Structure 1
């Protein structure tokens, strides 16, 4: 026996008897206390916030537990720090030899830079046949890593200016190596992110004013955003004292705090202004807002947090902590939305419409324009269903040919010292010289390891060096015959590992990149599965309706696939590369599918919750599926459209960045939001509600007994 579940007006949790309605009343009634508490929190966390970018970790791009990470740890313990984290200083002259006094003086000065810092281990002078070019004009000084990979990036941050400052009198000096790469890479991306954020704020404010029609109302989302940003920045600095947090975490936190802060404020303020038009009691209007829009915001925030939590499964510190950064920002924005915003709304009351534009006084929560659009979709569902699905399918098809790899040196600006040094080493010592593979083996297997290492794809194997502590290990370097980012490197590494004796291990920067890429590939289907299952469960709990919960999850997957299809056309195939100002690498950055999938799906489900919560509210009031579909869109369409416009503006500003990763992020997320809002939420999902009718809201009786009772109606 089954039944359709429609919450009656008296259901607990609806109206002002619900927990969120009571919370809203309390916050509105104690506005000064709430604001005071938030000020104390922001002062406490804000005191740590200014140091966020200098405090956070710069590395972490590794697969924990992998063979390459084990090699790095052994190299640091037993070989004076000559690991992948060591700093390589390229010294070059067109006229002088490395052995000349002029070059030796520069090498001595470089050694002196490292001498006073305990983070650096043994300093190895350039060696003939290994780190001196055949013509003798280029040498590589190696400063061992005596600290973690994150600390080595910080060390390069502090000393690279002194090292590059040694250039002059015909001698060029460039710090290179993985630590220097991450130092320059992080700086370039951080600068680009800040520039894009600053550029996006005026655009965001303009869209907000147009959406709200009031300067006062438009300022409230910025209140939430600033609170979320300051709190999450300080929180990340404090969390970094416990475990290293990637500096990228703050970059993404900034973007999500802005995007979701505006989303949530739009939904809440629009509902508050509607409630205020029916009652002069601001506190009662806040309670109604929290009982309806507040539930949708809570469920949306939980969906975002759940989607990003799946990324924590990936054993890569940088990827995990980027997710942590966004989750922290979302948590603070959500907390501000449920406490600070109701307090502000209760205090403002009718003044929420102060400094209003002329058309704003005529603006209603229910949009007649979106009501007409909803009716059109209801009357002619199949043409729109076919067109919408066709757009997503066509755009998603290229994803079948998507290639992924870790970023090449090309993602660093041409003028960056690390890139100049990298390319100089390639010209002077060979294509594979900047990315030597490190082989560590027991001393009794050194000869057989050296013999086996000299195979396909390996240009040279250096003589073995015994461990400085007499531990019985031997290290040798295998120089690839191709650029370390060449797609053939994966086969070279696999072949090398297959040939070597059982106890021999292969590491080095190229191996660490490839091991990380393999881990990302292995965990991608797991992360996607977890996100889909958890997203479905949350929608099921929220809507109490299995069919629409499943279909809502499925269409979110469609817009995500289409976004990656567009990413393949742009960043792998190079369509539009000239317009966007970049040189395609021939692949998408390796961490993109795992991380961007979680971000896109979280945003997509955000809009899904807004639309379906509104439709469910209408269905609970009327019991009519047609009314739910049309009126749900009429009451949420404007908010979804405005929120998407803000997000697209925010994300597309990152497309203007020079470094490739922020550009990838901006384009992929911007396209995803554009497709999700215009094609999925404003076309496909309303059409699905039309085609499924009452079945969309059907729920078996046993499910109603299992799930918590949630109602979106306010009575």
Structure 2
């Protein structure tokens, strides 16, 4: 199938790139350019939770609680107060003017700077006071309303030393949104040029280096268009754009790198252009498709969770990965056909390795060493990975808030000051939505709720009772107590006929975490089974997929342990510019899916080449060394390129984006070095012939998908063969391809070949002894 696909790509090599390029550009222009206006800030919570029901009842009865949208915090310098006539008058007039000039965006303004001078809204020393601005819009309109008034929020003309800062839930959301928007542009400005330079170094040719970049750029444009289309039908969180760009760009370039490398390898072996294109598509192309399938399966596990945020990331990331694979097996083979041997044009160094024994290179010597010391290598590496996993035991979870912004961010600092100065007015109160209660029953609920420890003060109604519904609110002294406060409030014994719903941001966070961990085992089971089946069909073995799953879990555990040490325990936080603290549970689940997908991605590229060698008659150890030697440099280059892309996102202002970026960097370093170069060869050496075991029906299914049936037209060059096996060189077609002498699909040992040739007619043609020439 893939050989036929490659030949079609060659036959229509002029039409395919033109059609695909036109489609991608149309997709981006018609939809991608409208993505920003379609993105959502919501989707972090479980829509089926009690807290979501509480929010829905409150919204339907009282409208949206907009009291904490925007907070203007006024600080007076030492020796003065906010009651200074010039300051008080200036702020009061500014707030009146703000409300008059923005009637469509501002619903109300309450604060210390009016005639009542509410003493609850000013500190005892009268050096700090605040005003709260409620915005009219609901949902996404809230953020649009904020941006319409943002530039006019801070008054001009205050005396020297007086400062006005902006806080509030919508102000924090806007700061987070701006930080995420900067991630995409940072990737385009910094990551792409750096990747281009790395590709030139890897390939030694400017033309060859541009091939993966073409796939990468088209993948970004197409992914943004697809994401915009999805946003028209379902809620797509703004955070999805950064994740989709990161994965789409990184994997597209990786896939392009593998395709270009295989095409050049076929040319080095002497294949003509059509055969080289077909073989590249049948081998590297097939591997790219299966690899993308496994990444997509890992990401599709996110669809099990109820949070719209995870679903939107899954939709977008799966689209990006699928598009990257599609471009790699359509556009690239066609461009290969157009360029032919000119793919190495504008070379800056020689890169052809035709005739060289790559198994004797660094990439062949490292796995050989690991196999010689397989037991100790396996023991030490497994113990090291388990040791790195230990910090994960101390992981803590929380919700999205201002602490995800950089410590120096003005909105974050203002919000922290407001929460500590006016704790009873926190913008994240815990709420009790009580329905169907008489006054006496409401008092019973009220008394029980106020006995819960950890509150900043007693519960109080946020609005008068309406249609039998009352909303009681209170602050929580510290976010770390959210879980215990919610648990205690669940023990409130509601009178018969009365419903009590626990709501507010703290409850939403707690129930979101609970929903995630309820679904996590099902996600793990689904992803492991699905990828196991796909790898079994790819490798034609049941042992290799089992080994891959175990190693992936070991690597994932080590990566999550490193992330916990960094982002929860605070190691490196001052240097990298973030604050340690609880992690968002949805982001933890997301990074698990990404790491699992990336690990299986590289596993497929590595083991597929081992399977190729095995099918040509190599022993297990020879296949291990052959596969690692032929993919080691490419996988390492791919990992370095992905690390560069992740590095651009590592400079994000948003902690959770740093978490994903550094998580991918740690996983890539572990995966491309310790696991792929050392642990995989060592474990496979210990398993020996068991590596290739599978029931007959698995072997047949793998064959139908292309294993063993699409043998490359250019068989391995002499240097690729195991030492001690022979290649016959004559002046015919076999000489041009270095065709291997076979018997029953096995390579003939060199001494036996000599004996047979001498027995035939005493004439021995020119023979090369693999790497022992």
Q: TM-score, normalised by structure 1?
A: 0.90
- Aligned residues of 1:138 and 1:428 also touching (Cα < 8 A): no
- Secondary structure of the 1:554 match is helix
Residue 180 of structure 2 is matched in structure 1 by: 189
The CA distance in 2 between the partners of 1:364 and 1:475, in whole Å, is 79
Distance (Å, rounded) in 1 between the aligned partners of 2:587 and 2:389: 16
Task: Give the structure 1 partner of residue 142 of structure 2.
Answer: 152
Contact map agreement 2:248 2:321 (CA 8 A) in 1: yes
The alpha-carbon deviation at position 691 of structure 1 amounts to 1.4
Correspondence for 1:450 among 446, 449, 460: 446
Q: Which has the larger radius of gyration?
A: 2
Paired residue for 1:6? none
How far apart are the structure 2 equivalents of 1:236 and 1:67?
30
- 2:595 alignment partner in structure 1: 600
Residues 674/93 of structure 1: CA separation in 2 closer, same or farther (3 Å cut): closer
**Between 396-405 and 662-671, the greater mean CA deviation after superposition:** 396-405
Contact 1:292 1:712 in 2 (8 A): no
Which of 333, 337, 344 aligns to 1:342? It is 333
Q: Is the CA contact (8 Å cut-off) linking 1:432 and 1:479 kept in structure 2?
A: yes
RMSD of Structure 2 on Structure 1 (CA): 2.7
Partner of residue 483 from structure 2, selected from 454, 469, 490:
490
Aligned to 1:109: 97
Selected match of 1:372 from 358, 365, 371? 365
Matches for 1:25-424 after TM superposition, within 5 Å: 25-47=7-29, 48-82=31-65, 87-92=69-74, 94=76, 95-97=81-83, 101-112=89-100, 115-117=103-105, 132-133=121-122, 135=124, 138-143=129-134, 146-148=137-139, 150-164=140-154, 168=158, 174-192=165-183, 194-195=185-186, 198-279=189-270, 281-362=272-353, 367-368=358-359, 369=361, 370-414=363-407, 416-424=409-417
Aligned partner (choices 471, 474, 478) of residue 478 of structure 1 = 474
CA distance in 2 between counterparts of 1:366 and 1:247 reads: 50
Any idea what SS the aligned residue of 2:474 has? Answer: strand
Q: CA deviation at 1:572?
A: 1.9
Aligned to 1:612: 607
Q: C-alpha displacement at 1:114, in angstroms?
A: 5.1
Task: Please give the residue correspondences for 1:542-691 in structure 2 after superposition, counting only pairs within 5 Å.
Answer: 542-585=538-581, 587-622=582-617, 624-691=619-686
Distance 2:44 2:84 in 1: 34
Q: Could you tell me how far apart the structure 1 residues matched to 2:518 and 2:528 are?
A: 17
SS of the residue 1:499 aligns to: coil
CA-CA distance at 1:612 after TM superposition = 1.0
Q: CA deviation at 1:506?
A: 2.1
Greater relative contact order, per chain length (Cα 8 Å cut-off, separation 6+): 1
Between stretches 382-391 and 123-132, larger displacement belongs to: 123-132
Superimposed CA distance per residue, residues 83-122 of structure 1 (whole angstroms, 9 cap, x where no aligned partner): 68x61333535333599554432332343465214xx666
**Structure 1 contact 97–138 (Cα < 8 Å) conserved:** no
Shift of 1:387: 2.9
**What is the rounded CA distance, in whole Å, between the counterparts of 2:645 and 2:694 in structure 1?**
39
- Report how far residue 662 of structure 1 moved: 2.4
Q: How many residues align?
A: 688
Flag the 1:195–1:98 CA change in 2: closer, same or farther, 3 A. farther
Segment of structure 1 superposing worse, 589-598 or 604-613 = 589-598
Structure-2 change in CA distance of 1:364 and 1:510 (3 Å): farther
SS at match of 1:188: helix
TM-score (norm 2): 0.83
Q: Give yes or no for contact 1:58–1:154 (8 Å, CA) kept in 2.
A: no
Structure 2's unaligned 5+ residue stretches are 713-773
The 8 Å contact of residues 240 and 316 in structure 2, kept in 1 or not, is answered as yes
- Counterparts in 2 of 1:115 and 1:78: CA distance versus 1, 3 Å: farther
- Where does structure 1 lack aligned partners over 5 or more consecutive residues? 1-18
Q: 1:512 to 1:225 in 2, by over 3 A?
A: same
Residue 361 to residue 611, structure 1, CA distance change in 2 (3 Å): closer
**CA displacement 1:496-517 (0-9 Å, x = unmatched):** 2322625122222222222222
Q: Judge conservation of contact 1:72–1:83 (CA < 8 Å) in 2.
A: no
The 1:672–1:525 alpha-carbon spacing in structure 2 relative to 1, beyond 3 Å, is same
In structure 1, what is the Cα distance between the partners aligned to 2:669 and 2:384?
A: 12
Paired position in structure 2 for 1:709: 704
Cα distance in 1 between the residues matched to 2:14 and 2:70: 57
The match for 1:4 is none
Decide which of 486, 492, 495 is 1:499's aligned counterpart. Answer: 492
**C-alpha distance in 1 between matches for 2:423 and 2:694:** 67
Give the Cα separation in 2 of the matches to 1:630 and 1:420.
Answer: 56
- 1:405, 1:588 within 8 Å by CA — same for their partners in 2? yes
**How far off is 1:189 after superposition?**
3.1
> Could you list the per-position Cα deviations for residues 315-354 of structure 1 after superposition, in whole angstroms to 9, with x for gaps in the alignment?
1111221222211111111110111111111111101111
SS at the partner of 1:474? strand
Structure 2 equivalent of residue 539 of structure 1: 535
